[in-house]
Amino acid sequence: MEKEIEKLQATAKIIRRGIVDQVYRAGSGHPGGSLSIADILTVLYFHELNIDPKNPKWEDRDRVVLSKGHCAPALYSCLTNRGYFEQEELKDFRTINGRLQGHPDMNKVPGVDMTTGSLGQGLSSANGMAIAGKIDNKDYRVYCILGDGEIEEGQVWEAAMAASKYKLDNLCVVVDNNNLQIDGTIEEVMSSYPIEEKFKSFGFQIININGHDIDEIIKAFDVAKEIKGKPTCIIAKTTKGKGVSYMENKVEWHGKAPNEEEYNKAIEELK
pLDDT in tens, 125-164: 999 999 999 999 999 999 999 999 999 999 999 999 999 9
Residues 6+ apart with CB under 8 A from 62: 48, 49, 50, 51, 140, 141, 142, 143
Backbone angles phi, psi at 79, to 5 degrees: -65, -40
pLDDT at 80: 98
Report how far apart, in Å, the C-alpha atoms of 205 and of each of 28, 84, 161, 173, 230 are: 37, 32, 13, 10, 7
pLDDT band at 1, cuts 50/70/90?
confident
Read off the pTM.
0.97
Handedness of CA 256, 17, 96, 102 (dihedral sign): negative
pLDDT in tens, 5-44: 999 999 999 999 999 999 999 999 999 999 999 999 999 9
Number of domains in the chain: 1
Domain that holds residue 226: 2-269
Residue 118 has pLDDT above 90, yes or no: yes
Local structure of 247: helix, strand or coil: coil
The CATH number linked to 256 is 3.40.50.970
Rounded CA separation 72/68 (Å): 8
Residues 6+ apart with CB under 8 A from 192: 148, 149, 151, 152, 186, 198
The fraction of the chain above a pLDDT of 70, given in percent, is 100
